[in-house]
Amino acid sequence: MYAYIKGELAAREENYIIVDNNGIGYMILMPFLMSAELGHIGESVTCYVYHSVKEDGISLYGFNSREQKDMFLMLITVSGIGPKVGQSICCYLTPEQLTSAVISSDVATISSVKGLGKKTSERIILELRDKLKSQAKAAGASVTAGSGIVFNKEQSGVSNDAIGALIMLGYKQQEAENAVSSCYEDGIGLQDLIKRSLKSISGSKFG
């Protein structure tokens, strides 16, 4: 099984790329919308891959990052979601957007993916929500321990879920706590709180 393939980007077509690694050209299924972010022809690239083995053939599905591939691996555990559909979702939604949409039951965001209907979007939320929420809570289990930030009872539920989601996405605990604390306001929903917190973190890095 392959984790990633590193080599020269030899060709890019509408639905696949070819990566040359030591004289071997690997054909990797990757829509142009996604491969356009990988690099330019002739450059050295690292493509994370999923090795699909079926009765009718063997295929490599490509991704720009490990986080994007992890999102794909989670998506294909959903009943009715195969590699092609899973990769298509990864083209349109970032791991942060999908996590936020699933945790907050945002059907509209998920169904905005081309070719994805409302029923499939609802199934994704139904089958992944508890898993993502439990991961978020596990990641943020110690959010109040020694942090210097104390949430009141009304805030704790949505705030801790948002902090856990940010930590699960790779942000440091203190960074997540600070962002959520600065963006929280009475009555705010989880989805909006995560979005504002992500924007706050990005602004602090590039502002």
Count: domains in the chain: 3
Q: How confident is the model at residue 81, as a pLDDT? A: 94
- CA dist., res. 110 & res. 117, Å (int): 9
Q: Pick from 86, 104, 128: which residue ends a domain?
A: 128
Tens-place pLDDT, residues 164-181: 878 777 777 788 888 888
135 half-sphere exposure, CB direction, 13 A CA radius: 16
| pLDDT higher than threshold 60 for residue 206 | no
Residue 183, domain CATH? 1.10.8.10
| pLDDT higher than threshold 50 for residue 23 | yes
pTM (two decimals): 0.69
Task: Write the DSSP string, 101-149.
Answer: HHHTT-HHHHHTSTT--HHHHHHHHHHHHHHHHHHHHHHTTTTTTTSS-
- 78 and 118 assigned to the same domain: yes
- What average pLDDT does range 131-146 have in this prediction? 61
Residue 12, domain CATH? 2.40.50.140
- 148 and 96 assigned to the same domain: no
Tens-place pLDDT, residues 35-74: 999 989 999 999 999 999 988 889 999 999 999 999 999 9
Phi/psi at 175 (nearest 5 deg)?
A: -65, -45
| Residue 184 tokens, joined | 């929280």
Q: Which residue has the tokens 């139904």?
A: 126
Q: How confident is the model at residue 198, as a pLDDT? A: 86
Contact 2, 49 (CB under 8 A): yes
- CA dist., res. 90 & res. 185, Å (int): 31
